[in-house]
Chain A
Amino acid sequence: MCLGIPACVVAISDEENCLALVETGGVRREVNMLCVTDDTRPLSSCVGDWVLVHVGFAMSRIDAEAAHRSLELLAALGEMASELPAMDREPGPYEASGE
């Protein structure tokens, strides 16, 4: 019940009731957009945005930059982790050269 699904807003379906059509994994559904819109971010600006959908409501606009930063951090962390065992090893004759 607490799990949400990321979906892309493909069309505004009902301006008056703040509804939009979203698509995820090939499935389309109408969702309520009240929680992700306000004066600065009107419904009309949402098409193409990714939102997290819970029980028929878009509850958050997914921040593409934050997602990207998270993945970059993970990549950097991965590189660090793969270097750690190497740091523990005695350097062999060819490894010490920094090649």
Chain B
Amino acid sequence: MSVGVPMKYVDEFRDPQRARRLIAAIHALYPAVGRPLQLMEFCGGHTQTLLRYGIERLLPEGIEMVHGPGCPVCVLPRERVDGAIALAARPEVILATFGDAMRVPGSCQTLLQARAGGADVRMVYSPLDALLLARRHPEREVVFFALGFETTMPATALTVLQAARQGVGNFSLFCNHITTLPTLRTVLDDPDMPLDGLLAPGHVSMVVGMQPFVRVAAHYRLPIVISGFEPLDMLQSLWLLLGQLAAGRHEVENQYARVVPAAGNTPGLEAMARVFGLQAAFDWDGSVAPEASGVRMREEYAHFDAGRRFPLPGRQTTMPAPPQCEQVLMGRLHPQACRHFGSDCTPAAPMGALMVSAEGACAACYHYGDRECCA
């Protein structure tokens, strides 16, 4: 936060002195593991913290952090952006979405470019703001371009339930939510990507709870730590992972207990279950298709599904994302090892979403890659 006001539950988890001691503890523990490690942080928010604070370069040399696919706009296939642009092009439609989604390249342009071309695209902070737009503009159709993992799904679901309760007929979702576990399993089933441990996404866990990760840890014999997002959270989580590896354990530990209840968020899960069902397949970035990680609105709420209310363009993309994007997304290629990185692909002229979003591994590497440690 750049506001000069002290932030409770933030500042104390950024204390540089404690960070240095934790790093020393990690170095002291690592020899007990005694082999090179590949550890994945699934969530793009974690990638950002690792790079922003220069944590990666302070870890023992044998530890490699693999950046995972947990970036909502990065897993979005290009034709979904094309779909949003096609919706926004309809004269009756106001298309509302989060700021991150506006700069993601579709096949030909971004939503921001579509807006410059005359489409009515509005940036909102919350799906509730989109619903408010619908109530203020009864003569228009407001479509919310909904994306994100389970962290944002309860908010979208509760907004649909509120729209139904209030009888708002001119509000709908272009639903592009995606679920975490199938996405994670795609990564873990990749034989080219053997992982020794996982930092699980703290805010997804806050919604889904610990249990889904317990099954993953048992099935893949993988040590997992649910981690918070501040530097001390992540360092403590890495230390806990090393502890499991040194002892030969593979369990789920909850470093982020101040926010993550073991059972998750019941009202949020109930709202999600009422509004959404799982979709059979949802291609992301063209070719990878994690089984059933896509989300579809239930029949009872079909009236709020923009995908069913408006015709959408076909699935073919005129210009697919570069193949390197998928490699980076799946953790197989380090962003800086991509031949486009920093040359013909930059945040100002991105070839893929990974270079756009604050949670994208390429954008994080670009902004913070050469930064010295701030801890």
Interface footprint category on A: 35 or more
With A1-B98, A35-B268, A56-B125 already in contact, the answer to whether A77 and B236 are too (CB < 8 A) is yes
What 1/0 flags go to B152-196 for Cβ under 8 Å of A?
Answer: 101100100010000000000000000000000000000000000
B100 at the interface (CB under 8 A from A): yes
Interface 1/0 per residue, B9-52 and A, CB below 8 Å:
11011000110011011001000000000000001110000000
- In the complex, the chain B residue whose C-beta lies closest to that of A70 is B258
CB-defined contacts of B155 to chain A, threshold 8 Å? 32, 54-57, 59
| Chain B proximity of A88: nearest CB distance (Å) | 9
Given contacts A1-B151, A2-B359, contact A52 B259 (CB under 8 A): yes
Q: How far is B229's CA from A3's CA once the two chains are assembled, in angstroms? A: 8
Given contacts A57-B158, A74-B232, contact A2 B22 (CB under 8 A): no
Contacting residues, chain B, for A56 (C-beta < 8 A) = 125-129, 155
From B43, B257, B266, B267, A66 is in contact (CB under 8 Å) with: B257
Q: CA A17 – CA B56 in complex, angstroms?
A: 44
Instruction: Determine if B148 and A2 form an interchain contact, defined as CB atoms under 8 angstroms apart.
Output: yes
Tell me, in angstroms, the Cα distance from A38 to B8 when the chains sit together.
Answer: 25
Stretch at the interface among B198-206, B285-293, B327-335: B198-206
B306 to chain A, nearest CB (A): 18
Q: Determine whether A81 belongs to the interface, using a CB cutoff of 8 Å to chain B.
A: yes
* Chain A 1-41 interface 0/1 with B at a Cβ cutoff of 8 Å (1 = within): 11110101000000001000000111100001011111000
How many residue pairs at the A-B interface have CB separations less than 8 Å?
A: 146
B259/A63 in contact, CB under 8 A: yes
User: Is A96 part of the binding interface, using a Cβ–Cβ cutoff of 8 Å?
Assistant: no
Q: Which of chain A's residues have a CB closer than 8 A to the CB of B158?
A: 32, 34-35, 57
- Which one of A3, A59, A66 lies within 8 Å of B154 (CB-CB)? A59
Minimal beta-carbon separation of B196 from chain A (angstroms):
21
| Residues in chain A near residue B265, CB distance under 8 A | 35, 59-60
How far is A78 from B367 in the complex, measured between Cα atoms in Å? Answer: 30
Contact A60 B151 (CB under 8 A): no
A54 to chain B: which residues have CB within 8 Å?
151-152, 155, 203
B21–A55 touching, CB < 8 Å: no
Contact of B24 with A85 in the complex, beta carbons under 8 Å:
yes
Q: Which of A2, A34, A67 contacts B258 (CB 8 A)?
A: A67
Task: Please give the residue numbers on chain B whose beta carbons come within 8 Å of chain A beta carbons, in ascending order.
Answer: 1, 3, 5, 7-10, 12-13, 17-18, 21-22, 24-25, 28, 43-45, 70, 72-73, 98, 100, 125-129, 147-149, 151-152, 154-155, 158, 162, 201, 203-204, 206-207, 229, 232, 236, 239, 255, 257-261, 265-268, 271, 357, 359
16 example contacts (A-B, Cβ-Cβ < 8 A) are as follows A1-B148, A3-B45, A3-B203, A3-B229, A4-B259, A24-B7, A25-B7, A26-B5, A32-B158, A57-B128, A59-B151, A60-B259, A67-B9, A78-B17, A81-B24, A81-B25
The 9 closest A-B pairs by CB, nearest first: A56-B126, A78-B21, A81-B25, A67-B258, A25-B3, A81-B24, A66-B258, A6-B9, A66-B257
B-contacting residues of A (Cβ < 8 Å)?
A: 1-4, 6, 8, 17, 24-27, 32, 34-38, 50, 52, 54-57, 59-60, 62-64, 66-67, 69-71, 73-75, 77-82, 84-85
